[in-house]
């Protein structure tokens, strides 16, 4: 009886055809591989040693901390080439003190690569920022959005005074970037670099998806003195055995 059922099940599987939409979706990603080959061909044509140089080492000048939004690709909007920018992205370009992913990237960029300029770049119309302005539940991401809500609470007087919701959201994006610049300065990684005399500048920018331009918020952190004294850390020391 079981053998007959198995044979019938096998015949049914053969008869089943995938919907056309599913079939298209399965093949859609292959275009990315085709694009990759075309890109390699162009790079090799323009510079036969391009990949040889990349394979040897990386010496990026900048660290980019941006949003994961697919419309904000760091290299394309800044005109930088592979190897010129070290990149970390998350929802709403947040600097969370317990985020080991971000801290690991920051440590490698500052301590190993000796990067001198860090850009925190938000963007107008950021979904994370807009979600943080409301009270709707989204699931697991609510725990991440809470950090953005903390920024709103810090600047609630200014933000609540802006009647136009769109303008309030745009200002919230800017204030969020400014807070993340300060939060980078609060890390031991950045403060230790400053203490050692290492040049390290942290800039706050906002990208406008509507016109493609990046706005400099004219906020740059360059030393511990620019932070509230409660965030100042004592000198780093080594424990010798």
Burial class (CB within 10 angstroms; exposed 0-12, middle 13-18, buried 19+) of 50:
middle
Annotated catalytic residue within 8, 23, 59, 71: 71
Does residue 67 have an active-site annotation? Answer: yes
Taking residue 194's Cβ as centre, other Cβ atoms within 10 Å add up to 18
Does residue 69 have an active-site annotation? Answer: yes
Does residue 71 have an active-site annotation? Answer: yes
Q: Under CATH, to which class is 59-231 assigned?
A: alpha beta
Check residue 235 and give its pLDDT: 81
Check residue 72 and give its pLDDT: 97
Does residue 29 have an active-site annotation? Answer: no
Q: With contact defined as beta carbons under 8 Å apart, do 205 and 214 qualify?
A: yes
**Rama region for 6: left / alpha / beta (φ>0; ψ in -120 to 50; rest):** alpha
> Which residue carries 């005109």 as its tokens?
79
Annotated catalytic residue within 123, 147, 182, 203: 123
Where do the domains of the chain lie?
Answer: 1-56, 59-231
Q: With contact defined as beta carbons under 8 Å apart, do 168 and 159 qualify?
A: yes
Annotated catalytic residue within 88, 121, 126, 182: 126
Q: What share of the chain is helix, strand, coil (3-state, %, to 5)?
A: 50, 15, 35
Q: pTM of this prediction? A: 0.85
Strand-pair partners of 215 = 206
Express each pLDDT in 84-110 by its tens digit. Answer: 999 999 999 999 999 999 999 999 999
Express each pLDDT in 29-71 by its tens digit. Answer: 999 999 999 999 999 999 999 999 999 989 999 999 999 999 9
Structure tokens that stand for 4 in this block:
């007959």
Does residue 223 have an active-site annotation? Answer: no
Annotated catalytic residue within 15, 29, 59, 67: 67
DSSP character at residue 120: E
């Amino acid at each position: 009886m079981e053998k007959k059922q198995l044979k019938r099940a096998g015949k049914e599987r053969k008869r089943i055809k995938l919907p056309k939409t599913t079939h298209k979706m399965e093949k859609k990603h292959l275009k990315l591989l085709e694009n990759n080959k075309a890109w390699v061909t162009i790079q090799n044509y323009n510079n036969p040693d391009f990949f040889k140089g990349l394979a040897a080492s990386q010496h990026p000048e900048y660290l980019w901390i941006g949003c994961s939004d697919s419309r904000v690709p760091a290299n394309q909007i800044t005109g930088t080439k592979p190897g010129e920018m070290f990149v970390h992205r998350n929802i709403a370009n947040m600097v969370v003190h317990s985020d080991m992913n971000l801290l690991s990237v920051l440590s490698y960029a500052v301590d190993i690569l000796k990067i001198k300029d860090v850009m925190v770049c938000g963007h107008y119309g950021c979904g994370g920022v807009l979600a943080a302005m409301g009270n709707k539940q989204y699931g697991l991401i609510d725990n991440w959005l809470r950090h953005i809500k903390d920024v709103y609470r810090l600047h609630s007087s200014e933000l609540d005074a802006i009647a136009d919701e769109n303008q309030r959201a745009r200002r919230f994006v800017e204030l969020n970037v400014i807070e993340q610049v300060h939060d980078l300065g609060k890390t031991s990684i950045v403060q230790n670099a400053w203490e050692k005399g290492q040049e390290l500048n942290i800039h706050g920018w906002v990208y406008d998806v509507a016109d493609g331009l990046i706005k400099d918020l004219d906020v740059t952190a360059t030393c511990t003195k620019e932070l509230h004294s409660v965030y100042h850390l004592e000198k780093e020391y080594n424990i010798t055995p």
